[in-house]
Chains A and B, each alone.
Chain A
């Protein structure tokens, strides 16, 4: 006799699915179309719902959680404005390949297309910024769809998946069965790299006199940092990392050349342009990395390892593509290596570049500078903290001066460049990571873009350190205005219109500090780090006009770096 299951509501099925997916946290905001889900949520005990103050905050928090832990971040919001408010976060997750599943409420299926109250075509809106999206039109499809959503988000090249849930689907009932297996005939990510290609890569690496590893975020996502470390160490290979790759290899190690690209180190960029073998691992030759593509690393044989075939030959034509899981390919490649040629000349050359153009030391004028603050934070936390940066000058200075020791420690909006990312993303990270300090660092501009989420951190007593680098300017835009736009500081000066950040933070209930004195930085950090029962706010008032150097101007070759401030008029 066939077993008959009890019929349960779509809302119950929803939570049973999340239980099966071992979801620990939902970041969300209630509203009309998801009331039934929130009714059930009231009694759910196997996961915690985190109430943010804006749906964008919820999405960034899910990203922060996902990026810090490697698990899938989950968002639940209502229809219409709730759904459209998630768009920036979804686009951000798409650009940086972060696995999140966003559940949006929707008006009842009968009303879809009728301009109903709080209706938005979130399927249409989110199509180009999601890895995939689903509209559940029948409660019988709900469990299978949720299973697929988590599978698609977390496998292959990860990314955001949106599931649109009409109100009537959530309210209707059916038997619940969670599918054991997922079978999507159009989706079969390649996992194992091509054996012959890997052997060829190993032969190239054995012969190479000037090899270079160019490491992107894919190494961290695939969990291949240990394999990378062994490959680099055993073969004495220099490692340069992208913004998202920082932390994949210890920044303190002698083999680490730091970041490459627009604000990368001089020596990393010189190495890229002089190497005879460039091995790109889980990176995508982004325009901020390559500069002018016609002059990018012309002398090298290029090997590109990536799980996403579309990343290969998109911006730079490579000589040897390997599609597959980066961790797996690195391990295979390392196992093929049995020769270790002498590369002391190559290392001598790199050391020479390092001496030629080190990071410029701060002018010794007693004023507070961002680089100094970042160095002090790096020292204080021994490079072991989770740093959640925002977008702009401070972001680049963090990339240059914070010595990341662990993977999943540098959380930043790299692809989309979303100001306002740091505050909510750090909240998500704080739920995922409890044993290391979580430090959110923003500029005074970006801090105000999701400042409402400070209360979320206070409400959940998260011991996050919220640091604002305040130069009273939209600094990176100001830098471009000075260098390339005739010094017209158009709408970037916030000095007369910024709030008193310390007072704002206090009003939200944070312990708050502020200083403009370099001598106080160390003691202030000590004081702030001693507080662990609630969030802390620290404002560092830095000089206004500092610029991030070295710099490759947009469209220039990465071999042509501006290493210091020049008279703008002579720069054309």
Chain B
């Protein structure tokens, strides 16, 4: 997030700034009605036409010579917008970043505003038809979800305490879901998701169409070559295709340019060969989100 973090974050991370979670922002930007409208119609956002354009057949539109670049430009401009949001049917200022487990715990412990809830993931519902309670919401967003029964988990707890939320997040992370934190809309942070590729509507544009809709984490995974036995258990965990097996060296290697730093591979390594390091430690990867 580069200069954005220096302006709005603590310790160089925008999502660790408690100010971005406060209810004052909601009042300032008048977000209550905006968010209710947006989440009532969330699933149809990609089929709704904006300026005569919707996301149906996005892959083909992106392949068109000039139009593809225009689409990419406007989509990124919309997602990274820092202006006050105007249209609830646009994903304005709705940009996120991958967070590893430790940062997510820090968010839940120190930044997230009560009430904390868990809700059914709308991405999984709209792309798979399945309901799974793995999104954690804070503050005003929790009050909005209360009004939308299709997101409220059945037979599961809806309101969570801080510790329960951390427990839930850990569970998802160990399962292999990628932790992501979202502005929605800028500058209000209200979503801590546990995403999966290809279901996630935020990861998909970047993975499949090259639109920067989510930033890589502030971290990078590194495999210690001496401790890796080449058991390949981390291989299936990587949802970004960053880990591969080198049959000659008989160990796994990380393509650090492709690594998003989510850290879900760390949970399966029995030999502690995988470690997570700050992105800034690697001059080559510094600032490449």
A binds B: no
